[in-house]
């Protein structure tokens, strides 16, 4: 009987295996066909419809599937693909203008600024930009304020109120639950662990948050004031008193130009493109235009500039889209270094930091690459702690005014459940061979010796970190330590403190790399190429449901974020060079 069961289970397993293989091949064939899209045509007198209501990453990613080396899934809707399409549209005779509609943009402030800068350049071509929304979030309005004419729905809403950031504190929760976080930190501004130590915000943390929020808000006001022909003082008054919260108030405050329904907006676009009333307005959506641009942008040159994207938390191990693994990133650096056609490397960093060891290993690979060809850093929304560690030895560092960087400090956090165990009548007993054999137990509080050893390691990493910065930036070590202590800076302040070299975006960094390497004609080589398992691929296309999707449905998005952060904290190994908090500017 058992023999028959074993045979049947083996046959069933084989059928399941064959089914997964067949489905996997079909999916990959589908992806291959999708990547070789049909030729896209653009009609004369067309409006590019810029709808940015999807999560925008710096790098949409290239994925190679394990066991199927012949195919690579290369998405084309990353931040710099979009910017490239806007730049191309400026010279495309068939594109008459851009329409920005109902975005609810899902991008960071520095990414939004990069898009806005591209739109400012587009306007310089003499073509129009119009914007329409039922609801303008503050970030949407920052982007859309560049438009020649800003429209709002008569029943719409506008958010224009300034910035804020909120932190949660867990000291009382720890005492009530019995689950405590053992904290060792270095740097008075290293406030990633502050919520575990107190129930109120420290003066130092409040100071740095206030400093960078006001710096970012100042940059936003400055750019809006220029586009809307107003003053920063008037914009502050509008924000303080919520004078743009309704369409009529927004019009009176001169933040919008016209109140109209969407069909009326389309009629105005027809006038702008000299399209007859009874004719259909010729528009092309962003995804189609991205494919169109990729078909047009061809180059025969062998020269390349490698752009390596490092986006997400830094982890020790292999990376994937959304995380920076030292194995994946270093492989990309070596690939660029060994390719004779690659004349320079631009490392695009968008990271709050993470593993100290992984950051050091990536730093070392950058150091080796610099000996062969220039390495230029472009900072995105954030390049802090380990993100700054990776950047500090580059030949030149570019950042946006709204970039969050610095945070040169170290911390360690260990969960401790001693009080929780006591409440439930659980007692842990240990037997050791040497006095320091037990370095840490989750069921025992840290003793002075253990805390001392950990503090010693943290100080060693901090000293190494500050020395890396001093050497890489050619700064006096005392100056570095004065601006370190875990403090966060905006790009503007980082420039004043000599932590970066120049204000600018990725295109500026690429242009500098081109000049430094004497490479006039070049192609962009985007790295890294990620590897994906067939199971992950099946989840992506809905053939299997991921744990993440199940949890989001059950818990809701906000609760899932909290769970994800707790899970991420529990997985962090070794000392951490991490931004002082989960940055969320609202």
Distance CA 202, CA 157 (A): 36
Residues 145, 359, 385, 517: which is the catalytic one?
A: 385
Strands (E), 341-395: 342-351, 353-355, 375-384
φ/ψ of 173, rounded to 5, equals -60, -40
Contact criterion met (CB below 8 Å) for 301 and 53: no
> Is 227 among the residues known to form the active site?
no
Return d(Cα 316, Cα 326) in angstroms, integer: 6
Residues 6+ apart with CB under 8 A from 46: 94, 95, 96, 282, 283, 284
> Is the Cβ–Cβ distance between 438 and 412 less than 8 Å?
no
Cis preceding linkage at 528, omega within 30: yes
Q: Are 410 and 462 in contact (CB under 8 A)?
A: yes
CA distances 524 to 191, 342, 415, Å, are 39, 9, 45
Structure tokens at 559: 């609760």
Q: Which two tokens stand for residue 495?
A: 């420039």
* CB-based contact 82:293 (threshold 8 Å): no
Cα 164–chain centre separation: 19
d(CA 29, CA 50): 30
Q: Report which secondary-structure segment, H or E, holds 405.
A: strand 404-406
Contacts of 498 (CB under 8 A, 6+ apart): 473, 475, 479
Read off the tokens for 18.
């064959």
Buried/exposed code over 528-560 (b: 16+ C-beta within 10 A; e: otherwise): bbbebebeebbbeeeeeeeeeeeebeeeeeeeb
258 is catalytic: no
Using H for helix, E for strand and C for coil, what is the string for 190-250? Answer: CHHHHHHHCCCCCHHHHHHHHHHHHHHHHHHHHHHHHHHCCCHHHHHHHHHHCCCCCHHHH
* Catalytic annotation, pick one of 57, 139, 190, 270: 190
Give the three-state DSSP class for 39.
Answer: coil
Q: Which active-site residues does the annotation give?
A: 190, 385
């Amino acid at each position: 009987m058992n023999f028959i069961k074993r045979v049947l289970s083996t046959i069933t397993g084989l059928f399941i295996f064959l089914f997964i293989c067949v489905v996997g091949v079909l999916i990959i064939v589908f992806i291959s066909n999708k990547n070789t899209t049909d030729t896209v045509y653009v009609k004369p007198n067309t409006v590019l419809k810029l709808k940015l209501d999807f999560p925008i990453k710096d790098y949409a990613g290239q994925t190679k599937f394990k066991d199927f080396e012949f195919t690579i899934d290369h998405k084309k809707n990353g931040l710099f693909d979009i910017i490239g399409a806007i730049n191309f549209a400026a010279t495309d005779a068939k594109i008459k203008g851009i329409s920005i509609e109902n975005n609810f943009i899902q991008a960071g402030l520095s990414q939004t600024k990069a898009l806005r800068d591209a739109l400012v350049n587009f306007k310089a071509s003499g073509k129009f930009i119009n914007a329409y929304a039922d609801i303008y979030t503050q970030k949407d309005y920052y982007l859309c304020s560049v438009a020649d004419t800003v429209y709002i729905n008569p029943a719409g809403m506008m958010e224009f109120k300034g910035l804020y950031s909120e932190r949660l504190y867990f000291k009382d929760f720890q005492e009530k639950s019995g689950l405590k976080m053992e904290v060792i930190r270095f740097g008075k501004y290293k406030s990633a662990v502050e919520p575990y130590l107190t129930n109120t915000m420290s003066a130092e943390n409040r100071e740095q948050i206030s400093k960078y929020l006001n710096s970012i808000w100042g940059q936003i006001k400055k750019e809006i004031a220029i586009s809307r022909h107003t003053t920063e003082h008037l914009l502050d008054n509008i924000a303080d008193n919520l004078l743009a919260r309704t369409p009529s108030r927004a019009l009176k405050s001169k933040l919008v130009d016209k109140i109209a329904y969407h069909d009326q907006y389309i009629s105005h676009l027809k006038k702008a493109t000299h399209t007859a009333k009874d004719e259909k307005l010729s528009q092309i959506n962003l995804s189609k235009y991205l494919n169109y641009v990729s078909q047009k942008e061809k180059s025969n040159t062998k020269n390349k500039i490698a752009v390596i994207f490092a986006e997400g938390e830094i982890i020790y191990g292999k990376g994937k889209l959304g995380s920076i693994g030292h194995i994946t990133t270093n492989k990309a650096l070596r690939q660029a270094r060994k390719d004779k056609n690659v004349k320079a490397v631009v490392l695009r960093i968008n990271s709050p930091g993470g593993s100290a060891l992984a950051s050091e290993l990536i730093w070392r690979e950058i150091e080796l690459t610099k000996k062969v060809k220039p390495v230029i850093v472009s900072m995105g929304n954030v390049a802090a702690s380990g993100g700054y560690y990776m950047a500090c030895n580059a030949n030149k560092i570019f950042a946006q005014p709204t970039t969050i960087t610095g945070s040169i400090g170290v911390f360690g956090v260990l969960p401790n459940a001693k009080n929780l165990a006591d409440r439930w009548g659980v007692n842990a007993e240990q037997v050791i061979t040497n006095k320091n054999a037990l370095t840490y137990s989750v069921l025992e509080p840290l003793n002075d010796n253990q805390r001392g050893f950990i503090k010693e390691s943290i100080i060693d990493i901090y000293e190494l970190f500050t020395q890396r910065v001093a050497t890489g930036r050619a700064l006096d070590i005392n100056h570095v330590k004065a601006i370190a202590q875990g403090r966060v800076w905006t790009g503007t302040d980082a420039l004043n403190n000599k932590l970066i070299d120049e204000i600018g975006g990725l295109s500026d960094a690429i242009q500098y790399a081109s000049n430094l390497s004497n490479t006039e004609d070049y192609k962009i080589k985007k790295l890294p190429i990620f590897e994906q398992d067939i199971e992950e691929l099946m989840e992506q296309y809905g053939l299997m449901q991921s744990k993440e999707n199940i949890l989001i449905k059950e818990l809701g998005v906000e609760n899932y974020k909290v769970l994800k952060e707790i899970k991420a904290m529990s997985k962090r190994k070794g000392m951490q060079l991490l931004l002082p908090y989960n940055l969320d500017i609202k």
